[in-house]
Structure formats: C-alpha cells, structure tokens
Chains A and B, each alone.
Chain A
Amino acid sequence: MATTTTPATGDERTTRADATDSVERVLGARMRRKEDPRFLTGRGIYTDDVQVAGTLHATFVRSPHAHARIRSIDLDAARSHPGVVAVYTGKDLADGGVNGIPVGWLLPGLKPSNHHAIAFEKVHYVGEAVAVIVGESASAARDAAGLVTVDYEPLPAVADAEQALAAGAPIVRDDGSDNVCFRWQIGDAAATDAALAGAAIVVRQRLVNQRLIPVAIEPRASLATYTRATDELTLWVTSQNPHVHRLIMGAFVLGLPEHRFRVISPDVGGGFGSKIFVYPEEVAVAWLARTLERPVKWTAERNESFMTDSHGRDHISDAEMAFDANGRIVGLRVRTVANLGAHLSLFAPAIPTYLYGTLLSGQYRIPAIHADVTGVFTHTTPVDAYRGAGRPEACYLIERMVDLGARQLGVDPADLRRRNFIPADQFPYQTPVALQYDSGNYEPALDRALAMLNYHGFRAEQQRLRTQGRYVGVGLSCYIEACGLAPSQVVGQLGAQAGLYESANVRVHPTGKVSVYTGSHQQGQGHETTFAQIVADRLGTSIDDVEIVHGDTGRVQFGMGTYGSRSGSVGGTAIVKSLDKIVDKSKRIAAHMLEAAPEDIELTSGRFHVRGSPDRSKGLADVSLAAYLAHSMPAGMEPGLEATSFFDPPNFTYPFGTHIAMVEVDADTGQVTLLRYIAVDDVGNVINPMIVDGQLHGGIAQGVAQALWESAEFDENAQLLTASLMNYGVPKARQLPFFELDRTVTPSPVNPLGIKGVGEAGAIASPPAVVNAVMDALSPFGIAHLDMPLTAPKVWRAMQAARANGNTSGGTTTATTGR
C-alpha cells in the first residue's frame, strides 16, 4: 500500500507526489471561495429569503407539556380571527393522507414510534406541534395561535434515559410496554470479559456525554408552492440533502410522485447534521400548499429551533479499560444508554450503534472490545446526528479512559498513547469492532503536536505555576474518525434504508464552459470552490469557467447529500469519475481532429496534444465545439460532451490526528480559560488548505463548547430549560483563542484523490482534549473526573469539596457531579 506520511512543512503542504501536468496545481491551492461575493454583499438566497407573491404563513401551536393526553382542542376563536385562512389538527393531516415520518435505519428488533407530523391524542415532548394556523401574514397566524385552547391532561414525564429504563417509569410510546427502542452490541463479550479478568489494572468510569443542541444560525424554514395545472409541488427547504427529502416525503409521507415533486435547498445557513432530517413542519407546509393551493411558508423562531431541531449526543456510559503491567490496553468493555428522545428521527438508530460502537478502538491496538448499547425513548426532543454523530462519543470515551489509565498507571499520557498506537506497518488494520482502517500513521501527528506545544517545557512551567497557586493543564486527544460511510451493500446489510454513494453529472458546454451537477450540498463547506478546483485540475480550465450546481432536485439527477464528512471523498470522487469519462471522450475527439491515434493524445495544461508534439493540439473548447457541432466525429461516437457517474466507495476513509488543549482553571472561581489549542490533523490530500483549516476551526469551537459550556438541560418534568441563546452556551469570540494547526498527509487509498474528510474532525477530537486538560490542571486537588460541560460552578464545587476533604494535593478521587 502506498502510504506516505510526511510532516507538512513549507511547500510540501500543497504539493502532491503525482503532480505532473501543470506548473502550479489548482488542486491543493489556497483559493478564495467563489461563493463568497454573494454572501459578503447580502445577496445569498436562503430559504426564508425566497419571496413568492400571495404566500400564506404557517404557525404551529406547540405543547407546553412533555407528556400529556389531548382531551380537546378548541380552534374556533383562531379560525375566526382576521387574516386566518385555515386551521388544522394532527387528525386533519392524518385524514388528509399524511403518513407518519419513517425511520431510515433499522436495527434488529427495533421498536419504532408513531411519529406524526402533528401530534394527536398525546404529546410526547415539549414543543411537539398540536395544530397549525395558516394566515395571510405571519403576525395574523401568530396572533391566532394564541387563541387556541388545548385541554391537556398532563402525565408524568421522563427526560433521563437511565430513569426511563427504571421500573415504573412513564412510558413514551403510545403502544409500548417499556421505553427500550433497541438493544445492540458489537465485539466479543467473552474475550473482553477474559481480558478484563486477567488484566493488571482495570480503569472504570461512568461518563456522561451530555445532550447538545446544534444551533445553526439560520433557523429551519420551508416554503411550498403548488401548481394545480401541472399537479407540481415545489418545496424550498433548509436541507443538507434535498433528494433524500424528496424521497422520504414523496414516497413515504405524502405519497407524491417524484417527477412532480421538486425540492430546492438554496443557500443553507449551517447544518451540522440538524438539516439532514425530514421534520414535521416541512411535511405540514408541503401538505398545506397542496391542500390550500396557495404558497405557504414557515420559518422557525429560535425557541422553536431549540425545542424541535434534532438534538445530539446524550449518552450515559459505563466504561472499563484494562491494561497489562506494561501499560498496554488489553480490553475495553462499554455499556451505553443512548437517549433517542420521544420519536425516532430519520437516522437516529445508526448514530449510537454503527457510528459509535465501531469507533471504539480509536488509534489503539485493543485485542478485545465489547460494547452494549441500549437505545431509549424519553419525553424529549428527538436525538439524531450532530457534527460527528457517534464518533465524538466514542472518541471522548476512549480518550478519557486512556487518560484515566495513565493517571492510575503513573505513566505520561503521551507515552501511554504512543505505547498503544497501531503501528504504521500494521495497515490495513482490522479492529475487533468491524472496521478495517485502510491507512494511518499516528506517531508523526502526536510528535508534531507535542513539539508545537513544547510539551516538556510546559510541564516545567506547570510545576512552577502550581507553587504560585495557578492551575494550568494540558490534555491530549488522539482521535480517529470514519468518513464517507460506505459501501452501500454493507450499510444495507446493517440496516440503512438508503445507499451511500454519490452522483455527479459533468456537462462541458459547446464553448468549453463546464457545469457540474452534484448530489452533495453545501451548508458552508465551499463546494462551489473545491469541486471547481477538482474540475479545473483535471481539465486544465480556470475555476471561473466551472459552475457547481447543487441543492435542487429539478436540476441535479440524484444525490445523497452532505453529512458524515462525505462530500469530498464521495461526491468529489463521483465528479472525478465523470471527468475521467469526459477526458477519455475528448482525447478520442482530439485524436480524430488531429489525425492521430487516441492513445497518443495527452492532456497538458488544458490542451490535448499529440505525444511528443506540443504544437499539434486542441483546447477543451475546440473539442467541445466539435462534439456539439458533430460535423465530423469518430466513427460510431455520439455527439455531445457530458458524463454521469455514481461513486460507491469500497470503504470509509479514516482521518486521524492529535489535538492538545491548554487550559487554566481559576482557583477562586473555577472558571476555565482555554489558553491554547493545537491540532495536527491528517485528512489525506487537501483540495484547499484554507477551507480545510476553516472546517477544523469550526469543529474545534463546537467541541470546546461541549467540553466547557453547552448542555441541553431538562427539569424534572422534562421541560427544556435551555431553549434560547440566553441560556444555552453557544461560544462567543472572546471565549476562544486562535487555533494553532498543522497537518500530516497520509493519502487515503479508497479514492483517486487520496482525500478523507474534515468536516467533523474538530468536533470529534476536541471535547476530550479540553476535559483532559482541565483534569490535568485539577490533579493537585485529586479530582480525576467531572462530566461535561465543565462550567465554573461545577469546577468550583469540585474544588471546594476537595478542599473540604483536605485534598489539595496528591491522591485520586472521582467526583462525578450531576448535570
């Protein structure tokens, strides 16, 4: 296997070993984004910016209770309110042919929920819609919503997944005997038990990976128009995957034929997973437009986003990591309870199973692993993929356990990691939890990160500062992630109700300009630039002559969309495959024009020339014009110059790296300050380093926020307490430092570009780096573990408790505080 790993220094960063055909390669170059001018001048078009004359506005009446029976709904006052056009309940939608929202990933024995677009009979979480008001204006609809009287019979509710498993817990499912949605396991239980029994030490820790709320700054929105004459429904919606929306809504929920249902997802203001799923409001808006034969729009208010956007994480895990006397990991046993919320969101079952349990080997050689996962319904907002989706939970568990192991063993945490790395010569490496890592080389990233920090210098400084009563710490996180879930045949066997390929149509116009129709869809990732770089690199054109078309089922053939850091490696490769076909046909046309043999034609710097005769050449525009004129084509060749490809990868890609956080804990207040953040990532070859860095910055910020500030909190009645930006801790600029990044480059063998994926890496790696750093800072207090988020009050209480016990230095205790 051609795995080369080089520390990225100087020009090597943007130079590929196989760079041959252009002086300055477009692929790998830092290029400003093509999409930016419209965003910078306020000319981007997000869903709520689409204005259609005569549009009605929908407002949803939402449950204030987490669990209640609906005795009756009085809609009369709302219906007769000025400006109100129509009022509907969940029963009206069901009677009108709206089916429940299905689940897109099935597990053996999985018990689904009845996920109606609008609830009737019972509500199951705070914010679930019970009626929809349609008005001539948003304010008329909102006013009328205030006139709806719902007679609720409140019922006991449960928000915590472990409590939901207890005997006598309130039951979430309408027809269920308990709250268990599924039980799932992976690995060898007997071998793991034996490994733990024979280990020198076993580190045990309960770890809570708290619930997060994605908070894309653009709230979800949808606008539907219906044309009776042609029976065509068009839905503009904040979606990361418009074809998936069309398929699920058309085929399963609304019963609409795909060829008369167009889904357009224009500019999308951030997603982070939350805009993958089919949501009740989108279903309702589409149905309303068709029923009323008027355009209908809905845009979430921020508190609706907090209550109804799918949440993320929410695991409670008991982990046991076993070591031999030499500090080698011999086994890992994990029991996880995953909170799924009140309904199964589209891909919810996959997140705490195949995207979590399979990642539990991390960067380490662990002979035996067993994980047991219980998915649990609670009276809370549904939980699904949020940036990282299962992989941050796995990384957090492994990297916390390794750190706790280092502490118990009295070994430096960097050394313990190094001791357990999968050696570079062991790839491809088969883990005991199903995945086969295709490539990797973990030590150079660790070495580089330690050098950037000046690790040994820091340790000396740390000791010196402790004598002054200042508590600083560093934390490491050596992460692995799996991007581009694939291949379709395998994911189908695992329960996916969809394939995970991507499509691309490349169309060279008669003048040589290029349009690319991709099934990937951006929410800030910059595909209009990076995909154009791929095209420009392969065809030798300018990126200004390349247009990337995405986000519209009426223009793009098909696509699976953007999530799981898959767009570059899967969507990008689909483009490459189409470009290969274009180049092949172009060479045959050029050969015909130049009266040469096709195998003698080379493409260099955008010109097709006869090998050894650079002066005998044709440009892409010459070839494309010839292809469309079709006056003289090679025998048997069809006119035109376009190609479509579907790429189904043979495996995931496996980015990895080492992140280091440096923090200071204020001894008086418990306030944690992030002093430095160092990240050395290996995402394979890089298309545009500027965009790769940006993706890492954002992911790191979200992960740091999980470690320190963000948490979805519910009270004892399952009431969401953090339903606004006033009490949910999205970070601000002053809370974060500049991030210090570098890279190693180990190309992925899975795709011809050698790229992996970068969208989620930062969010996966950073939570344990920060928590490990805080625990390092708090080690003089004997505090070994606190659950996230490490807010000042939580840290202060732990320090106070340690002081009360006279435990200001030495010793090791675990203080697990409530959330």
Chain B
Amino acid sequence: MAATGRTRVSLTVNGVAREHDVEPRLLLVHYLRDTLGLTGTHVGCDTSQCGACTVHLDGRAVKSCTVLAASASGSTVTTIEGLRPHGQFHPLQEAFWQEHGLQCGFCTPGMIMTGVGFLRDNPTATAEEIREGLDGNLCRCTGYHNIVRAVQAVVFQMAHTTEMPAMEPGDVIPPESLPGGILSSPTGAEIKVPGSKPR
C-alpha cells in the first residue's frame, strides 16, 4: 500500500545542496533520476544485480537502487554527471573511451563509478582482481574484455605514467611464453607489441 506521509531529505549531490519532501519508500536512484533529473544513473534490474545504478555515497560506490533516498539524507552523493566538471574526463572515463570499454553505454556510468571506487582501493590490481572487483556490474555488449582493459590502462598509467600499449588482432603472445603456458589466456597487461594509437 502507498505510504501516505512524506519525509524530508537533504543531501549534497554533485556538490550542490538538495532538499525535498519525498515518499519514504522512494529509492535513491529514483530521487536522482526523477526528482533531480540526473538520468545518467540507470536502472537495469530490480534485484541489485546489474550495477547500472552505482553512485558514490559518502565516497563509497553503492547501488542506488538499494538505498532509500531517506536513508541517504545528510550524505554526499556523486553521480556520473558529477565525477568531473562538465567537459572534463576522469582518467577512467578517458580509458573507457580509448579502449572501447563501452558499446550501448547503458551500463557505463555504473561501471565507471564502480571502477573509480575499485581503483582507489586497488591501485595495482591485476586483471583477475579487476574482474572480481566488477562482479556487481553486468555488461551485455562487451564481454568485459575492453572494460577490464580500460581499468588495467589506468593501473598501468598510475605505474608508468604512459598509456598501455594497444591490444589488437594479431598482437598475440605465443601462449607457451606466458606464465601459465599454453593453457592461459593473455592477460592484456603483458602485451608489449607496439600498436597503432587511436586518434
């Protein structure tokens, strides 16, 4: 049944103080999308599996479909729109662009918000750790290949202050030269073949 009362929420979203009377059951994601018009945060499921709604709540990546707007009152929220001032990119956004880490773009805001949080805690993550770190975010377009590459690229940059070499068709490491031998897939990071850089 409908909850009849309204509850007052006040929070800081992308650096701006916001205050509204909302239904107590209103989810943070719907508050962001419908009340504030911040539609970059998406809804892909009802069961907290897809991660398209990921935002930062007091600096931590959370699924905003699983947080009531009322419980977020008093907190600071950053959405994809507020990750960087308009016209500028976070290094992970730049890496997603460079590595083709997105296709339809629907999961992308959630992926990036999760990735930014993950990189803060795991700045030297391996490919396997990155895949584990993205466990709460689904992408149906990319097979994750280029998403993991994008996160790796930022790890690589933080270590080398250069861009990770491109991984293109034919840039194949002889598997017997890999640590895992013939049974292991290249992990991207050890690609040393000079590749053409996108313009």
Structural contact, A726 and B47, CB atoms closer than 8 A? yes
Q: Which of A38, A39, A219, A267 has the most CB of B within 10 A?
A: A39
Which B residues touch A177, using CB under 8 A? none
Which B residues touch A216, using CB under 8 A? 104, 106, 140
Structural contact, B39 and A738, CB atoms closer than 8 A? no
Which A residues touch B107, using CB under 8 A? 217, 269
Structural contact, B140 and A702, CB atoms closer than 8 A? yes
Quick one: which of A9, A41, A269, A694 contacts B170, CB cutoff 8 A? A9
The answer to whether A640 has its CB under 8 Å from any CB of chain B is: no
The answer to whether B119 has its CB under 8 Å from any CB of chain A is: no
Which A residues touch B108, using CB under 8 A? 39-40
Q: A13-B170, A41-B81 are in contact. Are A734 and B44 (CB under 8 A)?
A: no
Segment with Cβ contacts to A, from B69-77, B156-164, B180-188: B180-188
Which B residues touch A41, using CB under 8 A? 40, 80-81, 83-84, 86, 89, 93
A37 CA / B188 CA spacing, docked (Å): 24
Q: How far in angstroms is the closest Cβ of chain B from A120?
A: 28
Structural contact, A32 and B198, CB atoms closer than 8 A? yes
Q: How far in angstroms is the closest Cβ of chain A from B153?
A: 13
Mask, B107-129, CB within 8 Å of A = 1, is 11100100000000000000110
The answer to whether B13 has its CB under 8 Å from any CB of chain A is: no
The answer to whether A491 has its CB under 8 Å from any CB of chain B is: no
The answer to whether B154 has its CB under 8 Å from any CB of chain A is: no
A461 CA / B178 CA spacing, docked (Å): 15
A9 CA / B139 CA spacing, docked (Å): 30
Mask, A704-740, CB within 8 Å of B = 1, is 0000000000000000000011100010111011111
Which A residues touch B145, using CB under 8 A? 694, 697, 736, 738-739
Q: How far in angstroms is the closest Cβ of chain A from B92?
A: 9
The answer to whether B20 has its CB under 8 Å from any CB of chain A is: no
Which A residues touch B140, using CB under 8 A? 215-217, 270, 272, 698, 702, 730
Structural contact, B43 and A458, CB atoms closer than 8 A? no
Which A residues touch B175, using CB under 8 A? 453-454, 676
Q: How far in angstroms is the closest Cβ of chain B from A134?
A: 16
Structural contact, B39 and A49, CB atoms closer than 8 A? yes
- Residue of A with least CB distance to B148: A733
- Residue of B with least CB distance to A525: B103
The answer to whether A46 has its CB under 8 Å from any CB of chain B is: yes
A83 CA / B1 CA spacing, docked (Å): 13
- Residue of B with least CB distance to A143: B2
Structural contact, B105 and A694, CB atoms closer than 8 A? no
Segment with Cβ contacts to B, from A349-357, A593-601, A685-693: A685-693
List B residues 37-72 near A (Cβ within 8 Å).
37-47, 49-50, 52
A739 CA / B171 CA spacing, docked (Å): 12
Structural contact, A457 and B176, CB atoms closer than 8 A? yes
A9 CA / B144 CA spacing, docked (Å): 25
Structural contact, A733 and B49, CB atoms closer than 8 A? no
Interface size on B, residues (CB 8 A): 80
Structural contact, B2 and A82, CB atoms closer than 8 A? yes
Q: How far in angstroms is the closest Cβ of chain B from A520?
A: 15
Quick one: which of B25, B139, B142, B146 contacts A139, CB cutoff 8 A? B25
Mask, A39-50, CB within 8 Å of B = 1, is 111111110110
A35 CA / B33 CA spacing, docked (Å): 22
Q: Which of A14, A33, A218, A303 has the most CB of B within 10 A?
A: A218
- Residue of B with least CB distance to A677: B185
Q: How far in angstroms is the closest Cβ of chain A from B44?
A: 4
Structural contact, B81 and A30, CB atoms closer than 8 A? no
Mask, B163-175, CB within 8 Å of A = 1, is 0001111101011
Structural contact, B131 and A730, CB atoms closer than 8 A? no
Which B residues touch A694, using CB under 8 A? 100, 103, 141-142, 145-146
A36 CA / B194 CA spacing, docked (Å): 25
Structural contact, A267 and B105, CB atoms closer than 8 A? yes
Which B residues touch A398, using CB under 8 A? none
A523 CA / B93 CA spacing, docked (Å): 20
- Residue of B with least CB distance to A675: B183
Structural contact, B135 and A739, CB atoms closer than 8 A? no
The answer to whether A10 has its CB under 8 Å from any CB of chain B is: yes
Mask, A453-465, CB within 8 Å of B = 1, is 1100110010000
- Residue of B with least CB distance to A664: B183
Structural contact, A35 and B142, CB atoms closer than 8 A? no
A269 CA / B110 CA spacing, docked (Å): 13
Q: How far in angstroms is the closest Cβ of chain A from B27?
A: 10
Structural contact, A42 and B40, CB atoms closer than 8 A? yes
The answer to whether A495 has its CB under 8 Å from any CB of chain B is: no
A36 CA / B96 CA spacing, docked (Å): 9
The answer to whether A435 has its CB under 8 Å from any CB of chain B is: no
A270 CA / B137 CA spacing, docked (Å): 15
Which B residues touch A119, using CB under 8 A? none
A83 CA / B4 CA spacing, docked (Å): 12
The answer to whether A78 has its CB under 8 Å from any CB of chain B is: no
A48 CA / B144 CA spacing, docked (Å): 25
The answer to whether B143 has its CB under 8 Å from any CB of chain A is: yes
Q: How far in angstroms is the closest Cβ of chain B from A19?
A: 15
Mask, A521-534, CB within 8 Å of B = 1, is 00111100000000
Which B residues touch A42, using CB under 8 A? 38-41, 79-81, 109
Structural contact, B100 and A33, CB atoms closer than 8 A? yes
A51 CA / B32 CA spacing, docked (Å): 13
Quick one: which of B42, B80, B184, B188 contacts A218, CB cutoff 8 A? B42
A736 CA / B128 CA spacing, docked (Å): 10
List A residues 660-699 near B (Cβ within 8 Å).
662, 664, 675-677, 689-691, 693-695, 697-699
List A residues 1-51 near B (Cβ within 8 Å).
8-10, 13-14, 29-33, 35-46, 48-49, 51
Q: How far in angstroms is the closest Cβ of chain A from B34?
A: 8
A785 CA / B112 CA spacing, docked (Å): 41
Q: How far in angstroms is the closest Cβ of chain A from B112?
A: 7
Q: How far in angstroms is the closest Cβ of chain B from A282?
A: 19
Which A residues touch B169, using CB under 8 A? 8, 13, 689, 693, 741-743
Structural contact, B172 and A742, CB atoms closer than 8 A? yes
Structural contact, A700 and B132, CB atoms closer than 8 A? no
Quick one: which of A43, A217, A452, A702 contacts B106, CB cutoff 8 A? A217
Structural contact, B138 and A730, CB atoms closer than 8 A? yes
A342 CA / B172 CA spacing, docked (Å): 47
List A residues 437-493 near B (Cβ within 8 Å).
452-454, 457-458, 461, 472
A677 CA / B172 CA spacing, docked (Å): 12
A699 CA / B139 CA spacing, docked (Å): 12
* 12 pairs, A vs B, C-beta closer than 8 Å: A36-B96, A39-B105, A40-B112, A42-B40, A49-B39, A219-B43, A267-B105, A675-B185, A691-B100, A694-B141, A698-B103, A698-B142
14 new A-B contacts, CB < 8 A, other than A48-B43, A217-B106, A676-B184, are A30-B196, A41-B89, A41-B93, A42-B109, A43-B40, A302-B44, A525-B103, A676-B185, A698-B143, A725-B45, A733-B148, A734-B135, A738-B185, A738-B186
Contacts from B to A (Cβ < 8 Å): 1-2, 23, 25, 33-34, 37-47, 49-50, 52, 79-81, 83-84, 86, 89, 93, 96-98, 100, 102-109, 112, 127-128, 130-132, 134-135, 137-148, 166-170, 172, 174-176, 181-188, 196, 198-199
Which 5 A-B pairs rank lowest in CB-CB distance, beginning with the nearest?
A42-B40, A39-B105, A269-B106, A701-B143, A524-B104
